[in-house]
Amino acid sequence: MKTVKVMKPIFRPETESNFVLYPYRVYHLRLYYRRLGMSDRVFDYFAYVDLYRLGAERGEGFIELQKWEVDEKNVMEPLVDDEEARMKAFESAITWGNSRVISWWLPRIEVVRDELAYKVFWIFERDGTKIILDSLDGSEYSLDVLAGKGKRTCKGPLCR
């Protein structure tokens, strides 16, 4: 058994289910911009770095985390190390910050908080089909489709 921090699930299946924990590094960054002839600017930035595909998303805040005691087989191991994740978060923050302020200098960046956290993907069965449910946005995906064995079905707010 292993103790991990999990992003608090919003959506849960109504039936009995298993789960997989997908790795992220969550950052609260503070950007300090110097400006000529004007007051300096300070921004808070929240980055969610995918430790499997090295993508970064901006968040509105630091998501609530829960401690779970889980079997290690349910936890996906990160493919991205801490330094790569930090650089991706900084890159994302600078791109966002530079679109909001004009400065001759790159910002000084302070890491206020960072955590290794896992997003829950629920796995359950409905009408004989195995389904994966994203615990944060409610999207559902057929496991057969993801494995390349069936027709595409997707239910949820972010399905296209």
Q: How many Cα atoms are found within 13 Å in the side-chain-facing hemisphere of 2?
A: 12
Indicate whether 99 belongs to any domain: yes
**Using one digit for the tens of pLDDT, what is the confidence trace for 35-53?**
988 999 999 999 999 999 9
Indicate whether 90 belongs to any domain: yes
Indicate whether 137 belongs to any domain: no
Indicate whether 60 belongs to any domain: yes
> Model-level pTM?
0.86
Report whether pLDDT(148) > 80. no
Give CA–CA dist 140/154, Å, rounded: 6
**Using one digit for the tens of pLDDT, what is the confidence trace for 74-126?**
999 999 999 999 999 999 999 999 999 988 999 999 999 999 999 999 999 99
Indicate whether 130 belongs to any domain: no
Indicate whether 129 belongs to any domain: no
Q: End-to-end distance of the chain based on CA atoms, in angstroms?
A: 37
Indicate whether 51 belongs to any domain: yes
Q: Which domain holds residue 36?
A: 2-122
Number of domains in the chain: 1
- The answer to whether 4 and 66 have CB atoms below 8 angstroms apart is no
